[in-house]
Amino acid sequence: MDAMHAERRTPAVLLAVFYAVSGGLCLLAAAWPMHPDTPVGMLWVLGTIGTAGGLTIRLLAGRMRWWAVQAAVVLAGVLVALLAWQSATAVGIVALAPAMIALGLFAAHFFDLPTARLHVGLLIVLTSAGALAAVPDVPPLAWVMNVASVAALAEVQGRLARQLRTAAATDPLTGIANRRAWEAEAGRNLARTARTGEPLSFAILDLDDFKEVNDREGHGAGDALLRDLTAGWARRLRRADLLGRYGGDEFVLCLPGTDARGAWDILEQLAASHDFAWSAGVATAGKDDSLPAVLARADADLYLKKRSGRTA
């Protein structure tokens, strides 16, 4: 399973569980209504939509686009709002809080923070409209507590998720992408190139005699050198370029929209940012290339340059 597939699959599976469980609860409530005015017909409809939607999302989990996942979250908010509108009792409306919190936490965990805030805001607006339009009068304080809980928990979860994503994707010494994050994004660029046919080049950069710096001046000096080098490189790269740390003193570049000649032009600009010597190898992706294959060619080019004594 590739990174893109796994990235879409996990939220889709959890969303399928939410739909299925919610649909099952609606079906149970329709089969055994707890109040004479319970909207049995609507519960049968919502229960069927929920269970069928959960099964469909589960079957499509690995192929769902992010826009489809977000649309399913919005639809879930609409269905919760319908339940609030048609609830027979005020208690039934207030009891929708767990479903609202679950949707808010889902959005906060899987979407970026601004997008999650939009989803949570829309959810609050929809469900509040449903609660206001309902026949039973909902105690204002109870509903305010519902809304405040959803907003606060989603905000906390969103901020925590953002911090965790940043920590998981960043090399702690240099602040650039770590190997795992770089490979995931490079894989997405490679898939995009296969679809569009635009050029895509990769470069491997290896520092020359870096071990001597550590041996002569200590690891603190070596760490400072790595930070200085990567900071200088990052300032000269384009916004779409992706720099990552691949090993101790080995770095990788993903250069979208760039052929081999353009890649070497970029490397010349990077070389001008610091006087420490390093070697590089470049490879341009072919239509059916895998990431390991194109990096292997870049690595072979790197050692060819090293043997010929060509360094930056």
Specify the pLDDT at position 287.
82
- β partners of residue 278: 207
Specify the pLDDT at position 4.
36
**139-182, pLDDT tens digit by residue?**
999 999 999 999 999 999 999 999 998 888 899 999 999 999 99
Mean pLDDT of the chain: 91
Asked whether the CA dihedral 153, 85, 57, 5 is positive or negative, the reply is negative
> Do 142 and 89 contact (CB within 8 A), yes or no?
no
- Assigned token pair, 44: 């049968």
Q: Are strands 200-207 and 242-245 parallel, antiparallel or unpaired?
A: unpaired
> Do 252 and 202 contact (CB within 8 A), yes or no?
yes
**258-299, pLDDT tens digit by residue?**
999 999 999 999 999 999 999 999 999 988 889 999 999 999
Name the band, by pLDDT with cuts 50, 70 and 90, for residue 2.
very low
Give the residue among 135, 141, 8 at the shortest CA–CA distance from 67.
8
> Do 71 and 80 contact (CB within 8 A), yes or no?
no
Q: Is 239 exposed, middle or buried (0-12, 13-18, 19+ CB in 10 A)?
A: exposed
Task: Decide if pLDDT at 207 tops 60.
Answer: yes
> Do 255 and 266 contact (CB within 8 A), yes or no?
yes
Specify the pLDDT at position 283.
95
**125-144, pLDDT tens digit by residue?**
999 999 999 999 999 999 99
- How far, in Å, CA of 143 to CA of 116, rounded? 21
Q: Is 172 exposed, middle or buried (0-12, 13-18, 19+ CB in 10 A)?
A: exposed
| Amino acid letter, 199 | P
- The strands making up 200-207's β-sheet, listed across from edge to edge, are 242-245, 250-256, 200-207, 278-284
Q: Which run of H or of E encompasses 299?
A: helix 291-308
Weakest-pLDDT range from 40-44, 99-103, 215-219: 215-219
pTM, whole model, 2 decimals? 0.75
**77-90, pLDDT tens digit by residue?**
999 999 999 998 99
Specify the pLDDT at position 288.
85
Q: Are strands 250-256 and 278-284 parallel, antiparallel or unpaired?
A: unpaired
